[in-house]
Amino acid sequence: MKKSLQKEIYSAIRHTQDSDRAVHAQKFFKTGKGEYAEGDLFLGVRVPELRKLAKAYNHISFKDITHFLKSRYHEDRQFALFVLLLQFQKADSETQEKIFQLYLNHTRYINNWDLVDATAHKIVGDYLSDKNRDILYQLANSTDLWERRIAIIATFFFIKNNDFKDALHIAEILLPDTHDLIHKAVGWMLREIGKRDQKIEEAFLTKHYSNIHRTTLRYAIEKFSSQKRNKYLNGKL
């Protein structure tokens, strides 16, 4: 990247930064000591502004994208991922594979739930839709929180196409997980399955009821009738 373009993008991202919003974001996204995003730094730039900038600079190279993806600032990384997503959506199969590999090679920088949730299903899930999905099981068994979340959120792409098999298998792998962000993500994907086929979701819930974390269960049954929600919450299956 030419230094002038690099400075231009940095300046553009920081043009609408807001210190008060940054302080709020650092609390909201749990950046304190011992929290899941410890040490992450925010500029306080709104997501719509970052999406707008990503469209304006969607032509930048993979090297350029990686440069911003490795930034210490959350919004720089978010901008890079938005550009990557835009490029993926317009790319041929060869370039999509390169984007997929770039994404997986830099998961350490895709290190908050908003970054994962906006991109994992649209890049990882989309790419793997007609391919071997073993990599998702590797990610699901990772010691890294964000790789585990990528694994389950990636299945959202399959779920939208009424393909539930891998989502259910990965949900099963992640049921014993101890992290709240995994409990919520698994519950969310189960809920999405249920919106399309409630019988399949209920079969899973009934089979694994004794091992399902309460948070996962609450997310999973959110769209059920109040009577059915109470049945699950009270263990009267």
> pLDDT tens, 34-62?
999 999 999 999 999 999 999 999 999 99
Mean pLDDT of 65-80: 97
pLDDT of 6 over the 90 cut: no
* SS3 at position 73: strand
Determine the pLDDT at residue 106: 98
Q: Place 3 in a pLDDT band, splitting at 50, 70 and 90.
A: low
Amino acid at 39: G
**Which architecture does CATH list for 112-237?**
Alpha Horseshoe (1.25)
pLDDT of 1 over the 50 cut: no
CA–CA gap between residue 182 and residue 67 (Å, rounded)? 29
Determine the pLDDT at residue 2: 59
- Cα–Cα distances in Å, from 142 out to 5, 86, 119, 138, 193? 37, 27, 19, 6, 24
Mean pLDDT of 105-134: 98
Q: Which residue ranges does the chain devote to CATH 1.25.10.90? A: 1-110, 112-237
pLDDT of 72 over the 60 cut: yes
Determine the pLDDT at residue 5: 86
Please state, as a whole number, how many other Cβ atoms lie within 10 Å of the Cβ of residue 145.
Answer: 18
The hierarchical CATH code for the domain 1-110 is: 1.25.10.90
The label of the residue with tokens 């979701």 reads 201
> pLDDT tens, 138-178?
999 999 999 999 999 999 999 999 999 999 999 999 999 99
Nearest CA-CA partner of 195 in 216, 214, 170, 220: 220
What is the chain's mean pLDDT, rounded? Answer: 96
> pLDDT tens, 182-195?
999 999 999 999 99
